[in-house]
Amino acid sequence: MQTLRLSPDASGLARAAALLSQGACVAMPTETVYGLAADARNAEAVARIYEAKGRPGFNPLIVHVADLGAAQALATFPDQALLLAQVFWPGALTLVLPLRADSGIASLVTAGLDTVGLRVPAHPVAQALLRAAGAPLAAPSANASGRISPTTADHVLAPEGGLDGRIAAVLDGGPCPLGLESTIIGWPDGRPSLLRPGGIPAEEIETTLDQPLARPQADPAAPNAPGQLGSHYAPTAPLRLNAHPEPGETHLTFGQPGPFSLSDAGDLTQAAARLFDLLRRADAQGRPISVAPIPDHGLGAAINDRLRRAAAPRP
């Protein structure tokens, strides 16, 4: 794939929006860092984000929208969240909020959780792209997995740790003014909590809320990943991996048709796109779940990582 470098003028924006509507990934500048955007309603487009980044696991992604109204179509806003949105949006603040049942967001975006991270970016190019695309855009930082977040289009395309040849296009909006990821606030136990420090100082948020933020311990299953608290979907039913089906189980197939098929054709992008929906549907059957072997290369590594976490004993 040849990666296009697009100018953020009318024709570049139209091209980028058309690529997004076809399910491709496009890197876009935001005021924090460059994000690798895909239509958040299109599960296969979102799977391509993980494919391009070579991420070994599925983290929930931040969904970018043009304004508060668009955000309210996707999630419910408790009073404190509404206050923070009114004060800090557009800007470097991500709010983790209860997902609305009618949001239309692909379950891969939230990694199967019933919360969603939302942000209204202030960058004029991100704003213009959101309006041209007319879609909520899921976007993690536009770097290969384990690399530093990019703050220029050159970083996005860098031969080392960049995404040249792996994504459809980058909109070149020059250097990102902040160069630091957004601050993430959520209410995991009802209290406002700092899930990741970032571009907006925690103190400013505490002043606005007139309340200290809880600073939860990082998830022990992912000690080096900030913003991970409570971010693993786990089914209620026990889960067996690399398994042949036993009687009484709901069996997820791969490379073989069936009522719970991850991909009839053994396609890893399709399997990633279906994974969390299928796990939820399987869980709803109320029987133990088994999953056929998934190859451990490409997106398969991310799928297997999530399945191992879902299968791990609960605390």
Q: Are 108 and 58 in contact (CB under 8 A)?
A: yes
The answer to whether the CB of 254 falls within 8 A of the CB of 278 is no
Amino acid at site 12: G
Q: What angle do CA 206, 227, 216 make, to 5 degrees?
A: 60
Q: Is 110 in the site for ligand TXA (CB under 6 A)?
A: yes
Contact between 173 and ligand TXA per CB under 6 A = no
Specify binding-site residues for ATP: 55, 59, 115, 141, 149, 196, 233
Q: Is 35 in the site for ligand TXA (CB under 6 A)?
A: yes
Q: Distance of alpha carbon 88 from its chain centroid, rounded?
A: 21
Other beta carbons within 10 Å of 265: 11
Length of the chain: 315
Chain residues 224-253 in contact with ligand TXA, contact rule CB under 6 A: 227-228, 231
CA 119 – CA 285 distance, rounded (Å) = 35
Which amino acids are annotated as binding site for L-threonine, given as ranges? 32, 64, 119, 139, 182
Q: How far is the CB of 141 from ligand TXA (least distance, A)?
A: 4
Question: What binding mask, one character per residue, do residues 181-200 give for ligand TXA by CB under 6 A, x or -?
Answer: xx-x----------xx----
Is 141 one of the binding residues for Mg ion (CB under 5 A)? Answer: yes
> Looking at beta carbons only, is 78 or 223 nearer to Mg ion?
223
Among 16, 24, 25, 33, binds ligand TXA (CB under 6 A): 33
213 in Cβ contact with 193 (< 8 Å): yes
- Using left for φ > 0, alpha for ψ between -120 and 50, and beta otherwise, residue 55 falls in beta
Longest dimension (CA), the chain: 59
- The window from 110-118, 139-147, 182-190, 222-230 that contacts Mg ion (CB under 5 A) reads 139-147
Q: What is the nearest approach in angstroms of ligand TXA to the Cβ of residue 184?
A: 5
Interface positions with Mg ion (CB under 5 A): 141
List residues binding ligand TXA (CB under 6 A).
30, 32-33, 35, 59-62, 94, 96, 110, 113, 115-117, 119, 139-141, 181-182, 184, 195-196, 227-228, 231
